[in-house]
Amino acid sequence: MRIVELNENTKKNLLEDLLKRSPNQYTQYEETVAAIVADVRERRDMALLEYTEKFDHVQINAENIRVTEEEFAEAYRAVDPEVLRVIRAAIQNIKAYHMLQKRNSWFDAQENGIILGQKVTPIASVGVYVPGGKAAYPSSVLMNILPAKVAGVERIVMTTPPGKDGKVNEGTLVAAKEAGVTEIYKAGGAQAVAALAFGTQSIPKVDKIVGPGNIFVALAKKAVYGHVSIDSIAGPSEILVIADETANPRYVAADLLSQAEHDELASAILVTTSRGVAEKVNAEIEGFLGGLSRRDILTKSIENYGYILIAQNLNEAVDAANEIASEHLEIVTRNPFEVMTKIKNAGAIFLGEYSSEPLGDYFAGPNHILPTNGTAKFFSPLSVDDFVKKSSIISYSREALEKVHKDIELFAKAEGLTAHANSIAVRFEK
């Protein structure tokens, strides 16, 4: 990995480099995605099935597009019982964490005849997109479905691309079933997003679409936003570690590689106050690479977006971390909780040398669907809040309105909206 001194120039160059990975930079694909979305909206199942054959190289029809109970049963037989045990243990942790996020409706009744409040209602139907292809991620299935279940969503529709054999990965199916999915359809890519957004003969329209995917999925979600709600536009994975001289270089190297293995665009950054730690981490990374299965991806990721930055002090390291606003942030310092209080921008924060990032990916409970590409400055992790909507409640008695009606009429007339003013005034005509 590149070892460079942290200064304004290196930070500026790094940020520019990282932002190149954003889905918003891939405008050359927007026209293609828009055409697919429009075609599915117009021709519905016919277009959806044609694109499935074209891109996934498998023939799916209206009779077999939905996963059957027999396919679920087959998946349960194929999954290692120990893996199923771990999935169920993870579900308990994830569900317990998200239960703490639940909000209740509230009302504030005042003595003067005014009642104000907020009504919290679950979204009726949600579409969960789950990537297929080379890798299957049952953990992401849990992270998308369980907050929706906790929120009270009635219909959770999942789409995922089938393999060439027309089947869905057994781990994906079992995780979805355990989490409480309503139905699963064998469709992927931009065409699946369009089907969820507008509905086809086979796939019902939903109110919101969540879940990560490739650049075509990300751009399709962007294209249908407004017709439905979406969670966010996900970019490549990233990790940033803040470390001082007390950090274990071997642990830090392993954690950096844990995210770099996702794909060639993944970013792994170490910001440290110790050059000695920087050099040892670099050596440990070289040592690890030879024994890891995704060595080619790791090598490209580190060459393209791997950095070790030497900071003068922890305050400078924190400033850099806040500017980068990483998806995953690990703090491995003498007093990580103290450093954490200075962090303003991060998707998820891991404190101490035994809080490795994969703990959050699989088991601890907090959601691992996180803001990427610096969007942690204004976005949050996926949560129960993403699956509810809020309505304001207003109730005034005649006596309460009488005290303020002239003020409201004055305000309305000042804006030139005399019908607004009249709506209040008619209630006090003599």
Active site residue 327: yes
Residues contacting residue 156 through CB under 8 Å, at least 6 positions apart: 125, 126, 128, 145, 148, 149, 180, 181, 182
- Stretch 417-424: mean pLDDT: 97
As a whole number, mean pLDDT of residues 143-168 equals: 96
Task: State the catalytic residue, choosing from 328, 330, 368, 409.
Answer: 328
**Amino acid at residue number 260:** A
Split at pLDDT 50, 70, 90, the class of 415 is very high
Highest mean pLDDT out of 15-24, 28-37, 384-393: 384-393
Question: Torsion angle, CA of 75/133/306/283, rounded to 10 degrees?
Answer: 50
Q: What is the spatial distance between Cα 98 and Cα 80, in angstroms, rounded to a whole number?
A: 27
**Cβ-based neighbours of 253, under 8 Å, separated by 6 or more:** 281, 282, 284, 285, 287, 288
Q: Bridge-partner residues for 351, per DSSP?
A: 331
CA pair distance 153, 170, nearest whole angstrom: 24
Q: Is the pLDDT of residue 134 over 60?
A: no
pTM of the full structure: 0.91
Among candidates 387, 356, 352, 391, which has minimal Cα distance to 98?
387
| 18, two tokens | 């990282």
Considering 327, 330, 357, 409, which one is annotated as catalytic?
327
Task: Using the predicted structure, report yes or no on whether residue 133 has a pLDDT greater than 70.
Answer: no
- Range from 18-22, 38-42, 176-180 carrying the lowest mean pLDDT: 18-22
User: Would you say 79 and 170 are in contact if contact means Cβ atoms under 8 Å apart?
Assistant: yes
> Can you read off the two tokens belonging to residue 51?
């694109």
DSSP string, 119-141: EEEE-SEEEEE---TT---HHHH
Give the end-to-end CA distance of the chain in Å, rounded to a whole number. 81
Q: Is the predicted pLDDT of residue 33 greater than 60, yes or no?
A: yes
**Identity of the residue numbered 322:** N
Say whether 328 is catalytic. Answer: yes
H or E, element range at 184: strand 183-186
- The pLDDT value given to residue 419: 98
Are 150 and 102 in contact, with CB atoms under 8 Å apart? yes
- pLDDT tens profile 207-218: 999 998 888 999
* Nearest partner of 273 among 306, 320, 305, judged by Cα: 320
At residue 204 the predicted structure's pLDDT band, cuts being 50, 70 and 90, is very high
Span 106-132, pLDDT tens digits:
999 998 899 999 999 999 999 999 988
C-alpha gyration radius of the chain? 25
Task: Report the percentage of the chain scoring pLDDT > 90.
Answer: 83
Q: 12 pLDDT band (50/70/90 cuts)?
A: confident
Virtual CA dihedral for 409, 413, 418, 421, nearest 10 degrees?
-10
Q: Which of 270, 267, 269 is nearest to 243 (CA)?
A: 270
Q: Which residue has the tokens 């400033």?
A: 319
